C-alpha cells in the first residue's frame, strides 16, 4: 500500500467529520460542536467533536482518530489469526447523534481503514463501517427513505452489495441476550478489500457521503412533533438497549478497550446522556410503543 493512499483516506475522513458536523449544526439551529484535539503518546492523534443541549441534539459526537499499535488486539485477530503479531494503524470517523425529541431517531455511522503491517511482507488492508438507524417511534416513510438512500449509495459498485451489507447490518446490530434488533438497520461491512484499493475507497466515500442525505430529511420531518413525559420515558428505556449493545457487542468499543489505543472519553462518547432500565417492562397492547416492537424491530425488506 502506498503512503499516498493512506494520506488520501485521512484527508477524506477529516473533511467528512467537518461536513457532518456542519450538517448537524444546521439541523439543530442552536448548539455548536466543541472540538477536543488529543495526541496519543504511543502514536497517533484524534479530534473529538461533541454537541449537547441543543434545540435538536441532546448529545452527539463525531470523532476522528488515527492511531498506531505494535500488535493487533485479540478482538481483531480472533477471526483472522494471520494478523497476530502484525503492527497496525487504524483511522476512522465514528459518530452518534442522540436527539432530545423521541420522535427523531438516534443515528450512528462509522467509516474506517485498517492497515496491518509486517516486515518483508505486503501490508494487509481493509475498510469497514456503515450506518444504522434506531427509532423510538416507528414511521414507515422514514425507514423507506433511509434504506433507499443506502441502496442508491451502493448502486454503482456492483449487484448485491446493498442486500449483502443490509443483511450484515441486521445480523450485527442484534442484541442476542434480548433476542431483538437494536433498530431498523442500514449498512454494515467489515474486512472489505475485495476491490482494488481505489475502487474500494470510492465505494466507502459514496456510502459515507450519503449519511446526511439519509438522516437529514427524517430529522426535518420529526423534530417539531410535540412529545411529553411518556414519550421521553420510553425513549430513555430504549436507550438502555443502545448502551447494552455498545458495551457488550460493538467491535469498535471492544477494540478500543482491548487494544489500549483508544481514548476512553472518545470511545464512550456514543453513550446517551439519560437512560433508564425498568424491570420486566412491557408495552401497552395496541400502543405506539408496542408497534415499534411488532412492526419495526424485526428484519424487513424496506426497499
Catalytic residues, by residue number, are 108
> What is the full DSSP assignment across 79-127?
S-GGGTT-EEEEEEEEEEEEESSTTSPEEEEEEEEEEEE-TTS--EEEE
Q: Which of 233, 229, 227, 231 is nearest to 277 (CA)?
A: 233
Q: Could you identify the residue written with the cell 425507514?
A: 143
> Measured between alpha carbons, how far is 241 from 215 in angstroms, rounded to an integer?
21
- 199-204: long-range pairs with CB below 8 Å, 24+: 199/157, 200/127, 201/5, 201/8, 201/9, 201/12, 201/127, 202/157, 203/154, 203/157, 203/161, 204/111, 204/127, 204/129
Question: What does residue 50 show for φ and ψ, rounded to 5 degrees?
Answer: -125, 140
Cα–Cα dist 106/93, whole Å: 17
Q: Length of the chain, please? A: 303
Distance between start and end Cα atoms, the chain: 37
What are the respective helix, strand and coil percentages of the chain, to the nearest 5? 45, 25, 30
Amino acid at each position: 500500500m502506498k503512503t499516498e493512499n493512506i494520506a488520501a483516506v485521512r484527508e477524506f475522513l477529516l473533511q467528512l467529520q467537518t461536513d457532518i458536523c456542519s450538517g448537524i449544526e444546521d439541523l439543530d439551529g442552536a448548539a455548536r460542536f466543541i472540538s477536543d484535539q488529543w495526541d496519543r503518546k504511543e502514536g497517533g492523534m484524534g479530534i473529538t467533536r461533541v454537541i449537547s443541549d441543543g434545540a435538536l441534539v441532546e448529545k452527539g459526537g463525531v470523532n476522528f482518530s488515527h492511531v498506531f499499535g505494535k500488535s493487533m488486539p485479540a478482538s481483531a485477530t480472533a477471526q483472522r489469526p494471520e494478523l497476530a503479531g502484525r503492527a497496525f494503524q487504524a483511522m476512522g470517523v465514528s459518530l452518534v447523534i442522540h436527539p432530545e425529541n423521541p420522535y427523531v431517531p438516534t443515528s450512528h455511522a462509522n467509516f474506517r481503514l485498517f492497515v496491518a503491517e509486517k516486515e518483508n511482507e505486503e501490508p494487509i488492508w481493509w475498510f469497514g463501517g456503515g450506518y444504522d438507524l434506531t427509532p423510538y417511534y416507528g414511521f414507515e416513510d422514514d425507514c423507506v427513505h433511509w434504506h433507499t438512500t443506502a441502496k442508491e449509495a451502493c448502486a454503482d459498485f456492483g449487484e448485491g452489495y446493498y442486500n449483502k451489507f443490509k443483511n450484515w447490518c441486521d445480523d450485527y446490530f442484534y442484541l442476542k441476550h434480548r433476542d431483538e434488533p437494536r433498530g431498523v438497520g442500514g449498512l454494515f461491512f467489515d474486512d472489505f478489500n475485495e476491490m482494488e484499493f481505489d475502487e474500494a475507497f470510492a465505494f466507502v466515500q459514496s456510502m459515507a457521503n450519503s449519511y446526511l442525505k439519509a438522516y437529514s430529511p427524517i430529522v426535518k420531518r420529526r423534530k417539531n412533533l410535540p412529545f411529553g413525559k411518556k414519550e421521553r420515558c420510553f425513549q430513555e428505556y430504549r436507550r438502555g438497549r443502545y448502551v447494552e449493545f455498545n458495551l457488550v457487542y460493538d467491535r469498535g468499543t471492544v477494540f478500543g478497550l482491548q487494544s489500549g489505543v483508544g481514548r476512553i472519553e472518545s470511545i464512550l462518547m456514543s453513550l446517551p446522556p439519560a437512560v433508564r432500565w425498568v424491570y420486566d417492562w412491557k408495552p401497552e397492547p395496541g400502543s405506539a410503543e408496542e408497534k415499534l416492537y411488532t412492526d419495526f424491530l424485526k428484519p424487513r425488506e424496506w426497499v
